[in-house]
Structures are given as C-alpha cells and as structure tokens.
Amino acid sequence: MAVLELKQATIKFGGLVAVDSVDMEVKKGTIHALIGPNGAGKSTIFNLITGIYKPTSGSIFFEGNQVDGTPTYKLTSVGIARTFQNIRLFDDLTVLDNVKIGIHTRVKSGLLGAFTKMPSQQKEEKWIEEQVLEELDFMNLYEKRDELSKNLSYGEQRRLEIARALASNPKIILLDEPAAGMNPQEKVSLMQMINAIRERDVTVFLVEHDMKVVMGISDTVSVLDYGKKIAEGSPEEVKNNEDVIAAYLGADYLKTHMK
C-alpha cells in the first residue's frame, strides 16, 4: 500500500520546470531513496510534499488524502516529518530542548496550562521529557542532552535533526541528505539507525548522494534527471540501468563502487 503518492507532480519557477510530471509511490514500511545529479529536483520534491511549495499541476496524496498545498504544520500533525539538506537547529538551545520543539504537535495543554502549572500540565511535562530522552537515546545522543546544539559535531547535529523529527511521531520521515558530512563510521551507524527507524513502523523516504548508503539500505530507488523520473526499481535494477549510468552514476563509478 502506498503511504505517499505523487501523480503527475509538476512545479515551474517562471520558465524553469523544476519537477516535470513525476509519478511516484512510496510504499508503507519501506525505505525509498530518491537520487539524481545536483539540481535534478530532489529537494524540490520534498518541498512539494511538505507544503513549502504548491504544485503548478498534479497532485500529492498521503494515506489516500490529497495534501498538496496543505500548510507544513498541518502535515506534521497528520504524520509527515522531515529533515533538511542544510541543518536547521536552534543553536543556542540544548540538545534536549531542540527535540522538545519537535514534540509540540503531540502536546495537549495550552497556554493557560503553561502559566498555571496545573497537575495535568505537570504530568504532560514529565511525559514530554521521557519521550524526548527516548529519542535521544535512540539516536545515541543521550549523553549530549544538556549540551548546546551548536557545540555538537556535524554528524551529531544531523542525528539531532532526525531525533527532533522522530519526536513528532511521524508515519513517514523525509531525510534530505542525512549522510552529508559524516565520516565512514558515522555513515555505517546512520544506516543502522535508518533501518531501526523502519522497524518502528515509520516509512523512510530519503534523498542521498552517497551511493553506498543508498544501495545498502533501500528497498526502492527512484532516479531524477532534469526534473523527470528516468528510472525506478530495486537498487540492483537501478544501478544497472543504462539511463541512470549515463545521467548520474557513470560507468567508471559503477566499476569502482558497485562490485
């Protein structure tokens, strides 16, 4: 069953067609990768899905409901979370407080409760703390919980952004280049974490340039080139697709990295 579906999704910026009539299904419970050269339209598709852009034409469906043009905060509430290509954290907040921000869609107490510190508010604050610490432990950041996010390493900041997204209890998480800036050991750990996220019954849709990461964890790989989908299938099918080789990977790259 498709949890996310794009039907002829298109967006134009003036005379530039950034995404051109893309059909795509992300099946529930899978790890689905979206790859392509720089400027192919990958992050633009993420921005369409998460309501930052509205399609010029075509439609986007989440769990069978049309969601294109829906405000981002509403999409978070129904189960869509994401990270960004350029890390977006609150630098002067602690690791703990950054993740607390991600849980706001699950909080019931309003402004009055925050001021009056009613018993229900105190109970909820304790629950929030427990949930956030669980996410930090899951992303191997528990020991860093009281540090300012700006003092984390680049790889740790990447993991913190994922922890914040997971705190919203998503049904699908969109990861935009999660392995960027990570060393080989961190990438291996990231792959394990992404598989663990899927085991939590969260569908994973990722944009990634590191082909060892993509080929190592993905169930399905879709390939964009100049805004068009040129291939889709299993990692094995995609890495041997002549259009993909010509447009993106290159024969020499395949010989070196995909043996």
pLDDT at res. 248: 64
Given pLDDT bands bounded at 50, 70 and 90, which one contains residue 109? Answer: low
CB 144 within 8 A of CB 172: no
Per-residue tokens: 177: 């280049």
Arithmetic mean of pLDDT over the chain: 89
Q: How far apart are CA 125 and CA 114, in angstroms?
A: 10
Q: What is the CATH number of domain 2-79+170-257?
A: 3.40.50.300
Question: What does the pLDDT average to over 148-161?
Answer: 93
What are 122-140's pLDDT values in tens digits? Answer: 777 887 888 999 999 999 9
For the cut 80, the answer to whether the pLDDT of residue 110 exceeds it is no
Question: What does the pLDDT average to over 173-177?
Answer: 96
* Residue 205, H or E segment: strand 203-207
Question: What does the pLDDT average to over 13-39?
Answer: 94
Share above pLDDT 70 across residues of the chain, in percent, rounded to a whole number: 89
What are 187-197's pLDDT values in tens digits? Answer: 999 999 999 99
Does 64 or 239 have the greater pLDDT score? 64
Question: What does the pLDDT average to over 58-64?
Answer: 96
Given pLDDT bands bounded at 50, 70 and 90, which one contains residue 17? Answer: very high
Domain boundaries, the chain: 2-79+170-257, 92-156
Residue 36 makes CB contacts below 8 A (sequence gap 6+) with 42, 223, 224, 225, 247, 248
Instruction: Give me the residue label for tokens 């995909």.
Output: 258
For the cut 70, the answer to whether the pLDDT of residue 116 exceeds it is no
pLDDT at res. 117: 63
CB 216 within 8 A of CB 185: no
CA atoms within 13 A on the CB side of 105: 18
CB 26 within 8 A of CB 45: no
pLDDT at res. 111: 45
pTM beyond 0.85: yes
CB 34 within 8 A of CB 218: no
